[in-house]
Amino acid sequence: MDVLDQNDIDLKNCRGQGYDNGANMSGVYKGVQTIILQRNPQAFYMPCSAHNLNLAGVHSLESSVEMKNYFGRIQLLYNLFSGSPIRWKILTETTGLSLHQTSQTRWSARIEAVKPLVKRPREILLSLQKLRDLDLTADLLNDVKSLEKWIQSFEFIIMTTFWFKALQAINYVSVSFQSENITLDDEMKLMRILIEDLTRFRSSWPELINEAHLVASSLASYGFQSKLVQKRIRKRKNLYEEARNEVHFYENDEKQFEVNVFNTALDTLIQQIKDRFQAAEKTTNSFSFLWLSESNNRSSKEKEIEQPSLEEKYKTLAQIDVNDVDEDKLILEVRHLETLKRANLFGPKEYLTSMKLLNGIYQKGLESIFESIESSNSNGFRATYPIVNSSDMSDQLDGLLSTTINNAFNDSHVSKLNLTEMPVCLFIPIWKVPNYPDGSSRKQLVPGHKIYIDHVKFSKCNKSHGTNRFVNDLLVALVGDTSYLSSVCLSGKQSNAHSDKVPKPKICQDLVDGV
């Protein structure tokens, strides 16, 4: 707030805010978004959808001990083989695959850690058995025996089958969120589809357990079990006049696993998704009726609940935009828009989106009729609300680029320049598919950048092997010829031989003045 006041930025002109899901930014009581909403109710808060989905998965993992142990064992398996080149060679030669550790930043990416267990459970077990021939410490040998027993258990087969299917559905949505073309209404459609898929998956326990039995029977010759190990039930003697704890006993271990592990994890995941996307849903519902039909604007359960009439939605939207549009004029425009939508003037109502509606108004020259609707606050700006906060990826390069350019120009004040604020640079995370020596490849998100300077486009990957090329292209775009800059200079150390050719601070000052 102090920074806004110091720069004479009026918070009343703010129409949207978005951050990651840290408590200091997204807190309900003392978060930045709450403080801004108290000063300006029109500054709609849009939480980062990728962070929300990640946190929903993290909380579902905490639902039971079995869930925690499962991913803990996967990480232990990875640590065991990756801790030695010899052990890793045994793994790759036996399985033909590479193991992956459980991702902590993008939870849905854990499907890459589960996938080898689905495709090569027998080969992974054989790799563990080969490790016994090595000279291992007592702790490592105990880990090998423990992992062998775990992989051969029926619980491992059930959990692997379950999480592979669940993570597939979640990962598809998470990757879709990274697209530049995903809008706010697309986000809500994806979340509704995901919730429906998870709800449908929750009722498919018989199919899941049958599939697990088929897998176990095909691997029975390798010692894989087809029954859950019955755990001893702890009994406690009640004291005198103490209320007796009613413990429910299920007819078999599979039913107990279904209720206490399978259903609990999915119920937690579904509820977490619903709770964490309430802010986005509230923002969407306040204006999505402009382009969505009633059948597309609500889920099946919402249709059973009495919803506000269109007249009430018109008035609510007018009250939200009270500082930008005239209430009576906006209501008349929305009513006229409904008539044109019924005539399919902007295309079939079932496939109408916010951007299609906005483009249709301009293509048909109707912007003078729908001035309030196409205004930046009512529709145009909200149609472009960002759903993913990518600032974390950009911030990782601030120090690198600032320090490198500082060394190259020999000008200390450049280090204070935040390059992500430069109007000529656009920093976004991109996907790269690196190829590894063993011929394998996997898709991973890395801090990549697209730089637009004087209509010249550069796309470089910020990895150790490409940093110098990336910075060199950036300097070429900024100052032209960089032949006077040696590779030593680009790596952070300035060459004395070329010190007389280093640009004067005036170039850097012009760069700062242009921001």
Q: Are 17 and 36 spatial neighbours (Cβ–Cβ below 8 Å)?
A: yes
As a dihedral over the C-alpha atoms of residue 20, residue 25, residue 29, residue 33, rounded to 10 degrees, the angle is: -90
Q: Answer yes or no: are the C-beta atoms of 171 and 111 closer than 8 Å.
A: yes
Say what the pLDDT of residue 205 is. Answer: 93
Q: Could you tell me if residue 347 is left (phi over 0), alpha (psi between -120 and 50 degrees) or otherwise beta?
A: left
Extract the tokens encoding 54. Answer: 């990640």
Residue 163 confidence (pLDDT): 92
- The whole-model pTM stands at 0.64
Closest Cα to residue 26, out of 17, 38, 13? Answer: 17
At 14, the amino acid letter reads C
Residue ranges in the chain whose pLDDT is less than 50: 295-297, 299-306, 376-378, 380, 392-402, 404-436, 441-468, 470-471, 474-515
DSSP class of residue 231 equals: P
Question: What is the 3-state composition of the chain as percent helix, strand, coil, each rounded to the nearest 5?
Answer: 60, 5, 35
Residues sharing a CB contact under 8 Å with residue 152, sequence separation 6 or more, in sequence order:
125, 222, 223, 224, 225
DSSP for 381-425 reads TGGG---S--HHHHHHHHHHHHHHHHHHHT-GGGGG--GGG-TTE
* Contacts with 224 (C-beta within 8 Å, 6 or more apart), sequence order: 121, 151, 152, 154, 157, 215, 216
Q: Do 48 and 387 meet the contact criterion of CB atoms below 8 Å apart? A: yes
Which two three-digit tokens encode residue 450? Answer: 């697209």
Q: Which residues lie closer than 8 Å to 117 by C-beta, 6 or more apart?
A: 74, 124, 151, 156, 160
**Distance (Å, rounded) from C-alpha 31 to C-alpha 381?**
24
Torsion, CA 178, CA 184, CA 190, CA 196, rounded to 10: 150
Asked if 375 and 469 touch (Cβ cutoff 8 Å), the reply is no
**pLDDT for res 61:** 77
C-alpha distances in angstroms, 249 versus 228, 232, 233, 266? 16, 12, 10, 22
